[in-house]
Amino acid sequence: MKALNLHLLEQQDGFYRQGRVLKTSGLLIIATLPGATVGELCLIQKRQANTPAVKAEVIAIDHQNVKLMPFESLHGLRFGDKVEGTGKHALVPGGTNMLGLVVDSFGRELRESQSMGSSSPLIEVAVDKVINPLSRKPITENLATGVRAIDTFCPFGKGQRLGIMAGSGVGKSTLLSLIASHLSRKNTAVVAVLVGERGREVEEFVNHQLDSDTKSRTAVIVATAEEMPVTRVLALKYGISLAESISQEGTDVLLLVDSMTRVAMAQREIGLSMGEPTSSKGYTPSVFSLLQQTVERCGHFEHRGAISGLFTILVDGGDLDDPVVDALRASLDGHIVLDRNLAEKGHYPAINVLTSLSRLTSALFDDNQRTQLTRIKKTLSAYNEKKMMIDLSEAEGSLSSSLRQLSQANHEINTWLAESDVSEIERGSSCGLEYLSNLCPGEFV
């Protein structure tokens, strides 16, 4: 009797690459699919007439069965429906041809456009790609973001990764659009990934917060809140893969992700469905692995364009010790904190410059600039410490001249930060630091 050649059987259509749905469990589909690999895309053929196939991804293998996570609704799925393995991972359009388009997690356009996204080369979506650390270049070039509070207090370098931390409704998306509009004029391509947003917020970001010039230099990837968790995570993976494909063409890229917290929540749903153990606040280990892998794909590289990253992070109730916040703060090259109290006072962008930090300040500022920055921060800190004393003294009419100078300096610094002067921004942060430093009374610094 001849031996059975499994390799030849695997290549036969309709035999080794097909299986059947056995059951559903929460978000998971349990099915038979011999020879399946983790990450493989599958098609589930429903028996209902005129019903499109459901796309799903293999996320785990258990004995003779596989666990699939669907990208679409399971409505109408039956026991015994046919599962077909494609043998491929997700392939999506990439490259600079995608600029000017608004697409979903699979690269399908969400609006009519003059751009030819269909002519873009196909790239494979992956997030576990390892970057050789010796292929990175030092971050020494300061990028002017057009936001005074960032350019003077929290410098942002080409290839740097910064987190924007804030509660809901404090201005994260508006701040991202301001930075994207300014940097897109510097021949920088923008890849914006909107994960878990409401449809209204997506429409507002695309049609109202981005001007026409910025839109032409921006690729927007959208996975709204009602979509399946694996679809939301795929949007992030697509975003970083698209940024890399543009970077390979020699173009610098600004990657915007809004928000990493909603990505973490989607990955938590996937992890819990797979039976992963939980840690603090129910987050699974795969959540923190995904966040770290995403951040590490950005940077300043040899022989290709830099990928600079801005990642928004939701901070519930001001809890900066949240597991996701803490993990990202440790992985990123700095963070910008938006303060609700400042927003309520009409101070926009509502950046708390004392709690914000860039870990590359020493590389992007010279000695004189760092001295001026320290002087300004000491003045603002002194005002915060003496604010109650100043308020009481003003009420009693006994405010000393030194405290009056301190109060005036604090007021002028915050007024300057809430204004915008494009000509000043073009000259860089030096003029702003010098101006603010001269406002500071010497007694408190």
Three-class HEC string of the chain: CCCCCHHHHHCCCCCCCEEEEEEEECCEEEEECCCCCCCCEEEEECCCCCCCCEEEEEEEEECCEEEEEECCCCCCCCCCCEEEECCCCCEEECCHHHCCCEECCCCCECCCCCCCHHHCCEEECCCCCCCCHHHECCCCCEECCCCHHHHHHCCEECCCEEEEEECCCCCHHHHHHHHHHHHHCCCCEEEEEEECCCHHHHHHHHHHHCCHHHHHCEEEEEECCCCCHHHHHHHHHHHHHHHHHHHHCCCCEEEEEECHHHHHHHHHHHHHHHCCCCCHHHCCHHHHHHHHHHHHCCECECCCCCEEEEEEEECHHHCCCCHHHHHHHHHCCEEEEECHHHHHCCCCCCECCCCCEECCHHHHCCHHHHHHHHHHHHHHHHHHHHHHHHHHHHHHCCCCHHHHHHHHHHHHHHHHHCCCCHHHHHCCCHHHHHHHHHHCCHHHC
Let me know if domain 91-362 sits in CATH 3.40.50.1110.
no
User: Side-chain half-sphere of 366: how many Cα atoms within 13 Å?
Assistant: 5
Beta bridge partners of 83: 19, 44
For the chain, which residues make up each domain, given as ranges?
11-85, 91-362, 367-444
pLDDT (0 to 100) of residue 44? 93
pLDDT (0 to 100) of residue 284? 93
Mean pLDDT score across all residues of the chain: 87
Q: Which residues have C-beta within 8 Å of that of residue 308, sequence separation ≥ 6? A: 143, 156, 157, 158, 159, 160, 161, 188, 252, 253, 254, 255, 298
pTM metric for this prediction: 0.89
**How far apart are alpha carbons 132 and 17 in whole angstroms?**
35
Beta bridge partners of 118: none
Per-residue b or e along 282-314, where b marks 16 or more CB atoms closer than 10 Å to that residue's CB: ebbebbbebbebbbbbbbbbeebbbbbbbbbbb
Percent of the chain with pLDDT over 70: 91
pLDDT (0 to 100) of residue 10? 42
Per-residue pLDDT for 22 more than 60?
Answer: yes
pLDDT band at residue 14, thresholds of 50, 70 and 90?
very low
CA distances from 434 to 15, 266, 371 (A): 73, 45, 10
Give tens-digit pLDDT for 313-355: 998 766 777 899 999 999 999 999 999 889 888 888 999 999 9
Percent of the chain with pLDDT over 90: 56
Per-residue pLDDT for 66 more than 70?
Answer: yes
CA distances from 277 to 63, 274, 400 (A): 20, 9, 60
Give tens-digit pLDDT for 240-271: 999 999 999 999 999 999 989 999 999 999 99
**How far apart are alpha carbons 347 and 331 in whole angstroms?**
29
Give tens-digit pLDDT for 401-427: 899 999 999 999 999 998 765 445 445
Backbone φ, ψ for residue 315 (5° rounding): -115, 100
- Hey, what CATH topology would domain 11-85 get? Thrombin, subunit H (2.40.10)
Per-residue pLDDT for 444 more than 70?
Answer: no
Do 218 and 100 form a contact (C-beta atoms < 8 A)?
Answer: yes
Give tens-digit pLDDT for 87-139: 888 888 999 999 999 999 999 998 755 444 456 788 888 767 788 888 899 99
Q: Mean per-residue pLDDT for 343-369?
A: 93
Give tens-digit pLDDT for 150-202: 999 999 999 999 999 988 888 888 899 999 999 988 889 999 999 988 888 88
Do 26 and 273 form a contact (C-beta atoms < 8 A)?
Answer: yes
Per-residue pLDDT for 37 more than 50?
Answer: yes
Do 262 and 224 form a contact (C-beta atoms < 8 A)?
Answer: no
pLDDT (0 to 100) of residue 103? 94
pLDDT band at residue 2, thresholds of 50, 70 and 90?
very low
pLDDT (0 to 100) of residue 8? 40
Q: Which of 201, 153, 186 is nearest to 336 (CA)?
A: 153
pLDDT (0 to 100) of residue 268? 94
Q: Which residues have C-beta within 8 Å of that of residue 4, sequence separation ≥ 6? A: none
pLDDT (0 to 100) of residue 184? 86
**How far apart are alpha carbons 90 and 281 in whole angstroms?**
31
